[in-house]
A and B are shown apart, each in its own frame.
Chain A
Amino acid sequence: MKLTEIRILTNTCIAKSTYLLTFQRHFDFIPGQVVGISNSHGQDPRLYSIASGNKDKNISILYKVNPEGLLTPDLQHLQTGAPLLVTEPFGTFTGNDEPAWWIANGTGVAPFVSMFFSGMTNNKTLIHGNREAESFFFSHEFSTLLSDHYIKCSTVEKIEGFYQGRLTDYLARLKEIPVSIKYYLCGSAEMVVDTRDLLISRGIPFDNIISEIYF
């Protein structure tokens, strides 16, 4: 993959171990696509979903520091102006205007942030699972526009207005789940597999389920 050097504009801690990194947009992309990021030549780029609108001036990515990871332990310390190597965007986990449910845990919400800020909000429901209030990134923006179609499932912290428990528990308790729409799943392998199994058990055809797993 061809790498281009960019300069970091911001690298802000927005929740426990989670950062929002931005750099100037030098390319077009389709909301939902990923970029590969590396901090040195010779190191394989790690993949991150773009978490900004496709008309925004800058590109953002969300990342959580993995203490055993190859990139994020260093990435968290990089300051404005630091160089970084980035691939062109790629991937086909991309959004459109069709009705859909977006289902994510943790930073898996990133591609939906991009779709949301690119205006693909018609007939969308976002179900986001996380541990505590501060980790529901862009919650204000989602609440404003998606209103009742934005469901926050908090597994650890008890918060008013949030579903207390895993997002799979939330889904399992629903009396009806629409069969004919698309389901976009993004996040950990465990969440994606459990949610996909649950949706299939509720009669959703497997080809209506589109998944992206962070690895």
Chain B
Amino acid sequence: MRKEHLFGKKPDEIENIARELALPKYATRQLIDWIYKKKITSIDEMSNLSKQVREKLNERFDLGLLPPVKEEVSADGTKKYLFPTHNGKFVETAVIPEKERLTVCVSTQVGCKMGCLFCMTGKQGFHGNLTATEIINQIHSLPEKDKITNIVYMGMGEPFDNLQNVLESLEILTSGYGYAMSPRRITVSTIGIIPAIVRFMEESKCHLAISLHSPFEEERSKLMPVENVYSLTDMIKTIQEYDFTKQQRISFEYIMFKGVNDMPKHIKELTRLLNKIKCRINLIRFHPIPGSPLRPSDEASIELFKNSLNDKSILTTIRKSRGQDISAACGMLSTNKDLKI
């Protein structure tokens, strides 16, 4: 019989387990603390539970933690970890150090279904959703766990194509019983699945990032097939219904492709499209992938694009490329080679 994982369970589920095992009421709290607050690797280390209780737990459960099986380090200090999943697949997680921050970029799916033209993950096809346990494991099982300041859901996969597990993982990360992280330190990125955006806005206080990459629908549809289903117009209309002037923020990701989306008409249309939304645009350098017809915009064009948007009062920054030498940069994550490890 396959054991259930304790890690990833919510208080009500743990309370049910405690009840089923006829444990005293306070054992629920003890179990939660062992799972999320303390650094243990097995149920046997839950030292304030009796041996008999631990044996009972061991019969049906394990912690469900999976340490990384591989680590690569970039010249710029970025690290990329290879995490196994419970069904024998793999995902990559990037850890990006900055001056006063340590950001973890987590994956939500093995591969991706979205097929964006510029993304390496999409080239490996889709091999399954990660569970909430597997999403949080990428944080909990990191050697740098205690130093993490920010989390971005921008790794492999489309988070909003696995929304239920993403929301469950966010709850554990932000709840007092879990990691008690501020939602303001967590950003979830999507390519724009509108019904999922609506649900996310209703259920989460974490920041939202949207992959935009073109302000023109037809052009965007050639880069991102999702545009053919959920249009930019409808997405912007949906976003305008929410208030981003307070704690929760929205940003737009914009990878710059030479001669495709880096022209003055794009600046003009972006200004028109986003003028009623309090937002930030992150310009991202394109990291070419094999067989791609797209090329990165040159530095001067990116700088000009940024300045022009800032002049039009749209806060725009250029995101630093990190971990390119170990294929950990934006759009480069892939475990295609590891599928048969």
Contact = CB atoms under 8 A, between A and B. Distances in A.
Interface stretch (B31-39, B119-127, B267-275): B119-127
Interface stretch (A16-24, A112-120, A123-131, A196-204): A196-204
B217 A213 contact: no
A91 interface: yes
Contact of A213 (B111, B115, B196): B115
Interface in B239-264: none
A206 B222 contact: yes
7 contacts: A1-B195, A92-B221, A92-B231, A93-B229, A189-B122, A205-B293, A213-B114
B166 to A, nearest CB: 14
B291 interface: yes
A164 interface: no
A210 B222 contact: yes
Given A189-B113, A215-B114, A210 B228 contact: yes
B228 A200 contact: no
Interface size for chain A: under 10, 10 to 19, 20 to 34, or 35 or more residues? 20 to 34
Nearest to A70: B164
Interface residues of B, number: 30
Nearest to A92: B228
A59 interface: no
Nearest to A191: B125
The CB with the most chain A CB atoms within 10 A, among B115, B122, B221, B294, is that of B115
Contacts of A190: 125-126
Interface of B: 111-115, 117, 122-123, 125-126, 158, 161, 195-196, 199, 217, 219, 221-222, 225-229, 231, 234, 291-294
B65 to A, nearest CB: 25
Nearest to A209: B222
Contact of B225 (A197, A201, A213): A213
A215 B117 contact: no
Contacts of A215: 113-114, 158, 161
A196 to B, nearest CB: 7
A44 interface: yes
Nearest to A45: B195
A39 B158 CA distance: 25
B195 A212 contact: no
Contact of B123 (A47, A193, A206): A193
Contacts of B221: 92, 210
